[in-house]
Structure 1
Amino acid sequence: MKLPDYAKAIGISYTTAWRWWKANKLPHPARQTESGLIIVDYSPPAPSIESKKNRVAIYSRVSSSENKDNLNRQSERLTEYAIANGYQIVRNVKEIGSGLNDHRKQLETLLQQDDYDILLVEHKDRLARFGTHYLDVLLVRLGVKLEIVNLTDNGQDELMQDLVAVVTSFAARLYGERPAARKIERIIAELKNGESECS
């Protein structure tokens, strides 16, 4: 199959496939024709009960657009890992957003899909900063295995950014609750005054 078709079949970009070809890192045999066309000896596996168990969705995430290069490298590492394990890549999702943000559109869309059996992430904090265990429990109920490639702690810089975001969020809520509490107290007082005037 042609290199662009191969890239699409295994869930990577054409640029990544071309870079792998140049570095002689393609996981499948390939050759170049006289016209310059790169042909990869790869046939997608026919669907079977066994191959269905190996359908994988890759999820990569970084906290800011400044780390976009890291996002692409993360996705490439996971793709290589999936291929080495014989997984059939059905989705390869990349997202920029905080691990504390519980409204990440790409992740929401991915979690609503039912065409994969393994959710593959590099570190557990790529999926979420908190509550990864609960996501794992829910995924198991849906018949999806959460596979975390690297179980060691991730970088401290992003963790510090998340800590600042948590403190800022709680401070905003705390100071926002005070006027709300006063407003509720005024409403209760007005209701009590209304009752006393009626009696």
Structure 2
Amino acid sequence: MSSHDQRADVDRQVARLTQWATANGHEVGEVVTEVGSGVNGKRPKIRRVLSDPSASVVVVEHRDRLARFGVEHLEAALSAQGRRIVVTDEGETEDDLVRDMIEVLTSMCARLYGRRGARNRAMRAVTATKHDEPVEASF
């Protein structure tokens, strides 16, 4: 996806969320967008919003836009401060769970096969050097 397409998608999402917040009686104090993975915890804009006590309500369209894992912990921490997270589209919960499992399995398989591939290349190199054969690198 091009950065232009991503920007247009983010703009549409901001428009939907702003409209939803206004229609549901929330004052939109600040709109924060951050392109990044929900798996990555190093997201400075999200961290800033979550640590800002004046952000009493954090509105997201889908739970995974905030974080892929541990949203329940964020909700509990904010709730203890009298703040909350509002998810406008809860309809994808089952799809999100399936997608999460697929992502975890894909990541695990990629690591496993990556290690296996590296091990196989190393073994071919060792075998080739024992027999003085040229080593073909494939990456």
TM-score by length of 1: 0.47
CA distance in 1, matches of 2:27, 2:76: 23
Q: What code does the residue aligned with 2:24 have?
A: N
| SS at structure 1 position matched to 2:34 | strand
Deviations 1:87-115 (A, max 9, x none): 11111101100010000111011111111
Counterpart CA distance in 2 for 1:150 and 1:80 is 14
Answer yes or no: is the 8 Å Cα contact 1:100–1:129 preserved in 2.
yes
1:17-166 maps to which residues of 2 (within 5 A)? Answer: 65=3, 66-153=5-92, 159=99, 163=103
Unpaired runs of 5+ in structure 2? 116-139
Shift of 1:117: 1.4
Return closer, same or farther for 1:103/1:73 CA change in 2, 3 Å cut-off: same
What is the SS of the residue equivalent to 2:18?
A: helix
Separation of aligned partners in 2, 1:71 and 1:163: 22
The amino acid across from 2:67 in the alignment is A
CA deviation string 1:116-140 (max 9, x = no partner): 2111111111111111111111110
Gapped regions of structure 1 (runs ≥ 5): 1-63, 176-199
Is the helix fraction higher in 1 or 2? 2
Aligned length in residues: 109
Look up the match of 1:171: 111
Classify 1:169/1:128 alpha carbon distance in 2 versus 1 (closer, same or farther; 3 Å): farther
Percent sequence identity over matched residues? Answer: 31
Superposition CA RMSD, Å? 3.1
For the residues of structure 2 that align with 1:165 and 1:79, how far apart are their CA atoms? 35
DSSP-derived class of the 1:106 partner? helix
Cα-to-partner distance string for 1:124-170 (whole Å, 9 max, x where unaligned): 111111111111111101211111111011778xx48x817961698
Higher fraction of strand: 1
